[in-house]
Structure 1
Amino acid sequence: MRKLSDAPTLGGGAESSTENRTTGKTLASRLVLIIGSESVASFARRSGVGESLLRKYLNGAQPNASNLVLLADAGGCSIDWLAAGRPPRMRADISDNAKGLEDASVVGNEFLVLKQYRAADSDQKTAVRVLLEAIEHPSGGAWYRAGQAITNIANIFPRKKD
């Protein structure tokens, strides 16, 4: 049975296959990374994608959405990373980022803040950034600037009429 190391060179072009395999610049090279030392046949069986089809993907063909999902599931990686190389790579990283977002009020509040920020003018956006900087790196000067910023951002949120 052929191992992944026996697969044809990925990517072609000026880059070496070793460089492609370690940088994950193509879907094929990202597949190589998630397959690792497992045989192509074994990974194909585990994923539910035919071995010949998986070998086509390793040679540059593009999977359909269903097969992309199967491959990402088998590799434990995010679909976004496998398809386009966008982080985070592993699903565990996604779930770590999502902790605390299960509460709908948190998500709703974040969307409200983002919506208001997008609607703000450039002075108000600057004030928000100054305030966030003070929170991240507190110092006397940063909090003084934050106090000034609070005055500037007061108009971002609509006032409730009694």
Structure 2
Amino acid sequence: MYRTRDATLPNDKVYGLLGMNSDDPGATDLSADYTISWEVLFRQLVEAVLGRQVYARTNDEAAVIEARACAFGRGSLVDKETTSNDTQKVEITSKDGSGYLGGKTQWTLQASVEPIQEGDLVCYLQGASRPTILRPQEDYFIVIMISVTPPET
């Protein structure tokens, strides 16, 4: 989402999103501090969202998150249109313990800059309390949504 915000410094994008997304600005240890580097801020942000069991690093061209993950579903049917309340409907095909795809559930998620596509993976990153949606690439994954709230069952 931060990719669509006009900001000169990467830090501004993070601080802007914190202000937009939190009812309680004190909910994380993050606060606007322009004395820290982008690399330090990115690590703090990833730790606040995903927990301390992931590793994050940046350079001038990319941000990298390394973590163990457990995929439990795959986007199998995606409504390509977002609704007027900025949500996207996605059908998730679950994976059972033996690795076979099975049951399907409908998820209505907040729309993201990168819409969810068929084949995107729903997984838990080690230490995270909520699922992440990843898009497989040749030898890495793109984070589509870093923290989603699954529907109540």
Q: Same fold (TM over 0.5)?
A: no
TM-score by length of 1: 0.24
Q: Which has the higher relative contact order, 1 or 2, with Cα contacts under 8 A spaced 6 or more apart?
A: 2
TM-score by length of 2: 0.25
Based on CA coordinates, which of the two structures has the bigger radius of gyration? 1
